[in-house]
Structure 1
Amino acid sequence: MSLPAIRHIDATDFDVGAPQWPLAVERRADIDRNFAERKRAQPKLWNGRVLLFRDVACHGGTLAGRAFETDFASFLWWRGTGFPDDAVRNVFGMAAVRGRDGGFLLGVMADHTAAAGQVYFPAGTPDPGDVRGGRVDLAGSVVRELREETGLDAVAFRAEPGWTAVFAGPRIAVIKVFAADQTCAALLARVRAGIGADPEAELADVIAVYRRADIPAAAPVFMRAYLTASLSD
């Protein structure tokens, strides 16, 4: 299977105000039934509000489009049924923390989360709290997710210019690299201490990858593509 396309971008520009999602209205009974089944298996799932995207395209060095608000239950159903409505995109920011020894930190998602067992950079689907002045603040979303999932504060790192966008069908991962002065081992110890002290932690563990051979099987395709391009043999 070929890996997704990867492109460097300078900025993102997503306004909020695309029409509401007709599919979420048409398939409401299916969506609610699916979410009830998921809740029985994972009681901590929360049907909050999230942002999905339309009309996504690159204009020069800017990835742009329009965001609209929906509920997490609709997002889960859409994702779990093969992404019907091929005009919609799941655009999400990711924080790629890289230690001074060259490794990247990846989180292992906890069993109570919707992505249980998957391994990837701290990330999250943007929500209405990430909107600033009518536009999606993807940089702010990335900083928030990094702090919430790992306890690490982005101001302690050096943010590299621009982003890397990974296009994996309806999913578009927009990755910001944060360079750390500490080794991965030191960062792992800090994050694991925080995870161990928080019974509601989103992560079950955190790992470091240094080479392509380290890429875990549980990493989604967009993560495998990015790490394959960023790491050596």
Structure 2
Amino acid sequence: MKDKVIIFFTRIPTLGKNKTRLEPFLSKELCVKLQTAFIKDIYNNIRSMGIDIIINYSEHGDLEVLKSITHKGIYFLKQEGKDLGEKMHNAILFSLKEYRNVALIGSDLPLLNKKDIEIAFSILETKDIVISPTYDGGYYLIGMKEENPDIFNIRYSTSSVFEETIDKIKSTGRSYGKGNIQLDIDDKGDFLRLHKILKEDESISCDNTRKLVKEVMGKCDKNE
């Protein structure tokens, strides 16, 4: 059995299916470009870590689009399940058949860095589960060494997702640790916060996202 794997849980960049909460601040076309930039930057960061990657992709869209912006040697797994929780659980269950330590990450996280991943796997060395929160009350990473279907049986797309999941973990008696907090990009406010962070810190490695954000904000400035 192999040591560890990262499950990259993402939508395929598809018109009308990506970052819809950013509309009409961004056009449908720009939402697709933004999703593409996020995927490229996250993928480039995690690929350089030398950890196996499984890309767990949504049913909507052309898989070839996703393959064209990632590496040919990556394993692609279609998302299966009636809701978000079941889809994540099924991806983790599949991966645990071959790996001892599994961490699933989202794709709305252009600021995600190697340290976030390293800390998560470090926590898994001594805990049953690791969960890393987002500023809006959700989580962007969940990892484990054994399947835990009960912890995915919650209401998603709310500001209490992280806390509800923690409560579920506690009810199972599993040990857990919290990873670094991160910013996920869902709406205009998140996008503007991302712009501010990137403007203030040139060292952050997300070249594709940085370029697109700068382009969008440059047009906004001209239109004011």
TM-score range, shorter chain: under 0.3
Instruction: Give the TM-score of the pair, scaled to structure 1.
Output: 0.25
Which structure shows the bigger proportion of residues in strand conformation? 1
Instruction: Give the TM-score of the pair, scaled to structure 2.
Output: 0.26
